[in-house]
Amino acid sequence: MDRRNFINDIGQVTVAVCAGSLLAACSKSSDNNATPGPGGGGGGNALLTANLTSELTAVGSSKTSGTVIVIRTAAGNVAASFVALSLVCTHEQCTVDYVGSNGFKCPCHGSEYNVSGTVTMGPAPSSLKKYTVTVNSNTLTVS
């Protein structure tokens, strides 16, 4: 084999390997699309947990985990004393800021929401997503 044929053969093999790698990287497989479960010890589909003996003890207090926030809106360790919402604005998916009793404000386009997540000023088209709150003894779980 002469030098020219050798280099041509190596080039063809390199192109074939790169093309195969590119196709494999772009393919969809069920393993690549698996949605990871939530981290931490909340169990099941818990998005956030709180120990009510040490967290969320005052009305207006809050706890966040990722893009989920839970706020104590009333006294008592019952689910109705809390609201859990997404921090993702329904306008263009910016992360909203919790501004205490004034609710939420989107820093991107000025949308405002009250503490229960209802739009009070647009351009947001709908309320913040609500999550389910459960209280079992002194443990609050958002799912």
Indicate the Cα dihedral angle 53, 129, 98, 62, nearest 10°.
0
What pLDDT shows up at residue 40? 39
What pLDDT shows up at residue 50? 95
What pLDDT shows up at residue 42? 43
Span 120-141, pLDDT tens digits: 999 999 999 999 999 999 999 9
Pull the structure tokens for residue 64: 């966040």
What pLDDT shows up at residue 101? 85
Span 55-104, pLDDT tens digits: 999 999 999 999 999 999 999 999 999 999 999 999 999 999 999 888 99
Q: How confident is the model at residue 1 (pLDDT cuts 50, 70, 90)?
A: low
What are all long-range contacts of 50-57, with beta carbons under 8 Å and residues at least 24 apart?
Answer: 50/139, 50/140, 51/138, 51/139, 51/140, 52/77, 52/135, 52/138, 52/139, 52/140, 53/138, 55/140, 56/82, 56/140
What pLDDT shows up at residue 3? 66
What pLDDT shows up at residue 30? 33
pLDDT at 44 over 80: no
What pLDDT shows up at residue 138? 92
What pLDDT shows up at residue 69? 94
What pLDDT shows up at residue 45? 80
